[in-house]
Every structure is written in C-alpha cells, then in structure tokens.
Chain A
Amino acid sequence: MSIALKELWRQPQRFLPVWVALTLLVVLLVILAGFLDGLSRSQTGPYRAYDGDVFVLSDDANLQVQRSRVSADALTDQGLDDVADVGFLDAAFTVAAVEGTATGNTSSDNSDDGTNLQDVALYGYSMSSSVLPHAPDAGEVVVDKQLTRQIDVEVGDRLVLGPSAEPMTVAAIVDDLSAGAPTLWVNGDEWRRLVGTINPALLPPSGQHLALIAQPGADIKASTVVEQVDQIDGLEAADVADMIGALSVVQQQNATFTAIIGVTFVVSLLVVALFFALITLEQTRLYAVFKALGATTRELLTGISVQAVVLTLIALAVGMAISAVLVAALPPTLPVRVLPTRLLEVAVGLLVTSVIGGLLTARRLLRIDPASSIG
C-alpha cells in the first residue's frame, strides 16, 4: 500500500531506530555466517582437494583419517570398473619455517620460535586433482596459500621441516587447503622419510596408508563408488561431503555458529515485532481513522508488512556493504569466508523474520476500534 511507503519516505526519522538495528544485525549475521563457512573451510582443505572423489578408510576408523590404516592394494583386484584411478593420502602434524629463520634449538631464541616456526599439516599423496599438481619430486614440497599468509614464502624458497630441520624446496603454491593449519604436500616416499625423522611412531606399517582415494570414472557418481567400496570387507568409503560432515571439529563449529545465528534471527524478530508494536500503539488513533474511512485490518497489516520488507531490504543493502568493507579490513589469517549462497540465506531469512515480526501486530491492529476515531 503506497500510504505505508509514503509514511516511510516522509517520516524516516521514526523508522531510523529499527533500521539501524536491522543494519547492525545484518552485519552481525554476515560476519557470523562468514566465520561459519570460513572456519569449516579452514579445516577441510585436503577433502576439498579431492572434490568429487571417494575417500576409502578402514571400517573401524569412523571416517576419521587419523585413525585409519588401509593396505595400499586394498582396492586392486576388486573388480571396481567404475574407478578410474586410485591414490593414497597420509597425514601428520609438524612444524615448518623458512630456511635460516628457524633458530629454535637454543633457549635464548625462544621468541623467534614462536614467530617463525609454523604448525603445519604434512600430507603424502600420489594422485593429482583439479587443485593439486602431480606429486613433487624428492626434496620438493607443494604448499598451500594459507602458509604464504603466515610467513613470507615463494616458489623456489627453501623450507625446513620438523625438529631435525629437513630442508625442502617449494615447488608450487596451491589454493588454500588448510586443515586447521597450513598444509604441505610431498610424495609418499618423502612423507615416510620425513615423518620417520619427526615421529616414527606415526608411520603406518610399510605397505599401508591412512586413506585411499578413488576417482570415479567418467559419468560415474561418487555415490556409486561409495556403495561398491562399502561391500569390500574391512573398508568404509565416503564422499567429500560426508567426510567433512564426520569431522567433529566441523560439527561443533557448525552447531555453535548455527545456534548463534539462530539467536540473532530471534533477536531480529523481537526487534521488528517490538518496534511495530510500539508504532501501532503510537498510531492507534491514526489506524482507527483509517478503519473509520473504510480500511480493513488486513490492509493495515499489509502496510506494516510492506514497511518491514522495505526497511529490511535497505538494511540488507547497507549492512552487506558495511560487511564487505569490514571483511576486507580483517587480517587475512582470520578464517572468514563470505559465500553468495549464504548471503542469500541471510537475506531471505531476515526478510521472513521481519515480515513475521510485522505480522505479530495483527492482534493489536484487530483490536483497534474504528469508533475510537470519533469523539
């Protein structure tokens, strides 16, 4: 109803409080959603590296790579015609630094340890993917972008790994593949050699890996391969989404952030509902006049909904612009990632929330007596 919009344009100061509140809530929601997606992403790089492929673990591992041990030839001679290629994945945590900057073996240099030695996840792999190049040669390492945000490192630089400072040359830098820490990628033999110097106890028995990765053939769905591999004794398979979903850290983060985001939506609902309840109280006389002149409660309610929607749309536009500036200003090491689909969810969620908040005035509007406009 255009009367409602005229009220909005001509008396903007009356709507300023709720508009400001909504704008701040948009910023909060976008940042929270950004952390939700950023944190989850920062834990799941190795899975995203093999997007579309199938992870094969031992069936007692509960889809946790660290707990799994699989024989290297577990998938050979199984007649898996739908599998185009099989690779493996091994993982261990260690530390790394640019050569010459890590002087952490004398006690006087403790402060340097903290700043230059980075926790990293060291992966051994064999199969390239859309993200990962072919496994590098001995003495070479592929690093992900996250490490370059933490220390100054370029292709050709030399890193030292582990307590014995094994020197490695950076062969390539790939997209962010963080797994709670920056990731370094070497070939399988190098991984065994390096982990042997870091902590031999972490080495799987010879001929075994933590996980195998099966690449489905052309036009074959990952789910088909998962079903086939699950038939094999001692193995459990999962696609990337299920692997990520099984990560307890991701589950906890998702649960926490979903709860905070839910509470934020409830707060938005209360803000809008309270505001329009106040407006209605303030304008009881005016609404009574509208009714006396022939307006129905439904028309008044439509007017309030239109106001709620327009206010929310403006708040969304401004709030998202502010969020964009804020996110750009955040240090790159913070795991914030703003996904367009998530923005759409925030927008739709907030619009629905404000319309409901506006509609909560229905009872109040219904009770307004047109007779109170007179006398």
Chain B
Amino acid sequence: MSALDLKDVRKVYGDGDQKVVALDNVSLSVADNEMLFIMGPSGSGKTTLLTVAGGLLQATSGSVVVGGTDISGFDGRELAAFRRDRIGFVFQAVNLVPFLTARENLLLVRQFGGGKIDTDARDRADSLLTDLGLADRAGNLPSQLSGGQQQRVAIGRALMNEPPLVLVDEPTSSLDSELGQQVMELLTKEIKSRGLAAVVVTHDDRILDFADRIVQIVDGKLTSDSSDNSSASPSGR
C-alpha cells in the first residue's frame, strides 16, 4: 500500500472563459517512507497538487487515495478530520498562530475535532521541540523566533499528530541558502526517522539532493520518467 495514490486526477478552476485546468490527468504514487519532490515553474500546478492530495480541495475528477483511504467522496467534516489525523502540512508562509507559543502551536492541532491535550500530547510536543533544537524556545511566541526557528516549529506542528503523509510547500522560499539546508536536513531526518512519506514542492534546486525521487510538473501535467535519486537519505552536509 502506498502513502498516496493519485489516479487520473483533474482539477479545473472556474468555468467557461475563466476555466483553468490546473491538474491535467495526473497519476502519481508515493511509497511509504518515500520523499518525493515536485519541481515545476510558477503556475504549473504544484500547490494545487498538494491541495488536492491533502484534502483541502476536492479533485474535479479522478481518485485520491491516501494510505488506502479514498477521500474523493468526503464531505467538509470528514475532510477536516482527515486532514487533522492523516496529513501534516508545512505551509510556504509558515502560518504559525501569532498569539500561541511554539509549544502551543504544536499542541494546537490536538485540540481540533474535540481532542484534549493530555500528558501524551505534551510529551510529544516537548520531544519534537527537542528534536528540532527548540527546547529552550518552547515558551516563545512566533514573533520572538527567527525565520528558521519558525519554519522548524511549523515542521513540528506538521508532525504532531503523527500523520503518515507530510505535505511541504516551498519550505525554503523565505530562508537563505544555509538556513534552507539546515531546515531541510532537520525535516528529512524527522521524516525518515519516523518512516513517513512526504511530498515536497519546490523550485529551489539547491535542496534537490534531499529527494528520493523528483517529478517535474508543467502546465498541470507530470512529465514522465523523472530523475531518481536512488539513495534513501541525503548525504549530510
């Protein structure tokens, strides 16, 4: 069973003259424990692909199967529960909650869907923060953290609910080269050590070494036979 299976997925925005085909019969499979990178120019449909795979939007047609569950027919409430339990999002814009501390930003995702913050959740948040080198920053608000630290909190939040699939949108777009490398190293370590699958969207070719496999997307179509970094984990640097 693969972590993500897209079959003939089309996503069309608008209709009539305004019609935009953002995903054009995309079929894609991401194995468990695989880190897939999607590269493509701006407007090619990368974000749309993440949106559909993560249950933020329903595909116009085709099937989206995540960890064996077909989410194509889910309603809004089912999708919300699905996103909470099965998907970890790392947003391009980081999107931390400004009035919550680093630790509370992690615990946040436990509270939705009527969840409670128990000792288990607290322990997990603390160990994630420690893994991410943020143990001494747990009580800081996002505004008191650097860009790289904020991105690391966002990674911790994505991993908080132990999702089998992590979706990452342009993780290094707001970081300089060195910080970008550090964040990618951490992200890869966290994902690999937990045996998770990840889809990383980027147009930053300095981080392609972290990919297990790279897929190109142009005008909503995946180009076949993408390059394959067969090594399971990147060489540390």
Contact with B along A221-262 (1 / 0, CB 8 A): 000000000000000000000000000000000000000000
A374 touching B97 in the complex, CB below 8 Å, given contacts A1-B111, A2-B111, A6-B104: no
Chain B residues whose CB sits within 8 angstroms of the CB of A375 once the complex forms: 47-48, 50-51, 92, 169
Check if B85 sits within 8 Å of A294, measured CB to CB: yes
Chain A residues whose CB sits within 8 angstroms of the CB of B50 once the complex forms: 374-375
Chain A residues whose CB sits within 8 angstroms of the CB of B169 once the complex forms: 374-375
Check if A295 sits within 8 Å of B112, measured CB to CB: yes
B226 at interface, CB cutoff 8 A: no
Contact with A along B68-108 (1 / 0, CB 8 A): 00000000110111011100010110010111100010001
Check if B83 sits within 8 Å of A294, measured CB to CB: yes
Residue from the set B56, B84, B104, B108 with the largest chain A CB neighbour count within 10 Å = B56
A130 at interface, CB cutoff 8 A: no
- Indicate which residue in A7, A11, A294, A374 contacts B112 across the interface (CB closer than 8 Å): A294
Check if A294 sits within 8 Å of B104, measured CB to CB: no
A177 nearest CB across to chain B (Å) = 57
Check if A3 sits within 8 Å of B51, measured CB to CB: no
Check if B97 sits within 8 Å of A292, measured CB to CB: no
- In this complex, how many residues of chain B approach chain A with their Cβ under 8 Å: the count is 33
Within 8 A of B (CB), among A135-189: none
A296 touching B113 in the complex, CB below 8 Å, given contacts A371-B51, A375-B47, A375-B51: yes
Interface residues of chain B: helix, strand, loop or mixed (majority): helix
**Cα(A370)–Cα(B95), bound, Å:** 12
Chain A residues whose CB sits within 8 angstroms of the CB of B95 once the complex forms: 285-286, 289, 373
Check if A294 sits within 8 Å of B99, measured CB to CB: no
Check if A373 sits within 8 Å of B100, measured CB to CB: no
A60 at interface, CB cutoff 8 A: no
A373 touching B56 in the complex, CB below 8 Å, given contacts A2-B111, A6-B99, A289-B95: yes
**Cα(A10)–Cα(B144), bound, Å:** 14
Chain B residues whose CB sits within 8 angstroms of the CB of A345 once the complex forms: none
Query: Which residues does B use to contact A, with CB under 8 Å?
Result: 47-48, 50-51, 54, 56-57, 76-77, 79-81, 83-85, 89, 91-92, 95, 97-100, 104, 108-109, 111-113, 141, 157, 161, 169
Query: Which residues does A use to contact B, with CB under 8 Å?
Result: 1-3, 6-7, 10-11, 285-286, 289-297, 299, 370-371, 373-375
Q: Which 9 A-B pairs have the closest CB atoms?
A: A294-B84, A375-B47, A371-B56, A294-B112, A10-B99, A295-B112, A289-B95, A371-B57, A294-B83
**Can you report 21 residue pairs joining A to B where beta carbons are below 8 Å apart?**
A2-B111, A3-B100, A6-B99, A11-B99, A286-B98, A289-B97, A292-B54, A293-B83, A293-B84, A293-B89, A294-B81, A294-B83, A294-B112, A295-B112, A296-B112, A370-B83, A373-B89, A373-B91, A374-B89, A374-B91, A375-B92
